Amino acid sequence: MSDRMFVLAHITDPHLAPLPAPRCSELRSKRLGGFINWQRKRRDIHLLETLEQTAAEVKRQRADHIAVTGDLVNLALEAEFAPARAWLDGVGPPDRVTTIPGNHDAYVHATSHRFGEIFAPYLAGDDGSVGFPGVRRRGPLALISLSTAVPTLPLMATGTLGRDQLAALEQVLERLAAEDVFRVLLVHHPLKSDARQKRMTDAADLLALLKRHGVELVLHGHDHIHSTMWFEGPNGNIPAIGVPSASALAHGRYPAAAYNLFTIEKDNAGWRCEQTVRGLGSGFQIREIKHARLV
Ligand SMILES: [Fe+2]
């Protein structure tokens, strides 16, 4: 490994357990369905022990930076946020870890502002502001954070960037075009989804913007599966990578917890980015699942 190689780890959708007991007043509308779903299914899938094992492995990798692409909590209960912040503090300090919100972090209107407050040091851009898009430069990287987290109706898990964020992103990408940086876009929802109730509603606008300006890599969560999709950019296709929930046991078509490691460096031929996927196998051992050159 050369001195100039930068290592970026990527974990997503920790869905921190255990879920604190909700107060009756917190279980109106959308949260009621979510709570029933947690009690019936998700509490047997998203385990704290699994999350701690994944996070410990990631920390042992001594990556230069760790990206956590959303869904740190489950029903966005007030009592979920402090434990989630404590968990993220255990992953690493704010200058070494960047997070963004997912749909579960803004599950209902009442607490949709809490993620931004509690995780502000992990969200703040290099200019100190907490907002989206945010830009953090680390080594050769420009990490560009987006938020698709908006409260939605019951049974919906869609995400939306909105016009203002898209316009601001265009300005960020125009500015970065003049610089020699490896641009990594962090966004919770995948850029393409077959499930209408889980999609990013304005993904077409984001894809059009990426086609004009490009980035080198997109990291997302939300689908809880291993995923590599390619999207058109101005200088070739852009890889968009998803990975299973960092706390999940394998269930149905959903694989067990995993994480990504990206090694990024520049040589005479341009950027080089390789992906290693590591995840939980039989016997609860974490092993390498895949290695691929992306760029
Ligand atoms: Fe999730």
If you measure from the C-alpha of residue 180 to the centroid of ligand 1, how many angstroms do you get, rounded to a whole number? 33
Per-residue pLDDT of the chain (295 residues; tens, 9 = 90+): 455 799 999 999 999 999 999 999 999 889 999 999 999 999 999 999 999 999 999 999 999 999 999 999 999 999 999 999 999 999 999 999 999 999 999 999 999 999 999 999 999 999 999 999 999 999 999 999 999 999 999 999 999 999 999 999 999 999 999 999 999 999 999 999 999 999 999 999 999 999 999 999 999 999 999 999 999 999 999 999 999 999 999 999 999 999 999 999 999 989 999 999 999 998 789 999 999 999 9
If you measure from the C-alpha of residue 141 to the centroid of ligand 1, how many angstroms do you get, rounded to a whole number? 26
- Interior angle at CA 16, CA 96 and CA 203, nearest 5: 70
If you measure from the C-alpha of residue 119 to the centroid of ligand 1, how many angstroms do you get, rounded to a whole number? 18
Q: What is the pLDDT of residue 3?
A: 55
Beta strands in the chain (DSSP E): 6-11, 65-68, 97-99, 134-138, 141-145, 182-186, 217-220, 227-233, 236-242, 258-267, 270-280, 286-293
If you measure from the C-alpha of residue 103 to the centroid of ligand 1, how many angstroms do you get, rounded to a whole number? 8
If you measure from the C-alpha of residue 96 to the centroid of ligand 1, how many angstroms do you get, rounded to a whole number? 22
Q: What is the pLDDT of residue 171?
A: 98
pTM: 0.97
If you measure from the C-alpha of residue 104 to the centroid of ligand 1, how many angstroms do you get, rounded to a whole number? 7
pLDDT in tens, 74-88: 999 999 999 999 999
* C-alpha–C-alpha distance, residues 69 and 234, integer Å: 25
If you measure from the C-alpha of residue 264 to the centroid of ligand 1, how many angstroms do you get, rounded to a whole number? 27
* C-alpha–C-alpha distance, residues 28 and 32, integer Å: 6
What is the residue type of 67?
A
Best CA proximity match to 59, nearest among 21, 91, 88, 26: 91
User: Are 34 and 75 within 8 A, CB to CB?
Assistant: yes
Q: What is the pLDDT of residue 264?
A: 98
Q: What is the pLDDT of residue 29?
A: 82
Q: What is the pLDDT of residue 129?
A: 96
Q: What is the pLDDT of residue 13?
A: 98
User: Are 15 and 222 within 8 A, CB to CB?
Assistant: no
pLDDT in tens, 163-212: 999 999 999 999 999 999 999 999 999 999 999 999 999 999 999 999 99
* C-alpha–C-alpha distance, residues 78 and 27, integer Å: 12
If you measure from the C-alpha of residue 279 to the centroid of ligand 1, how many angstroms do you get, rounded to a whole number? 17
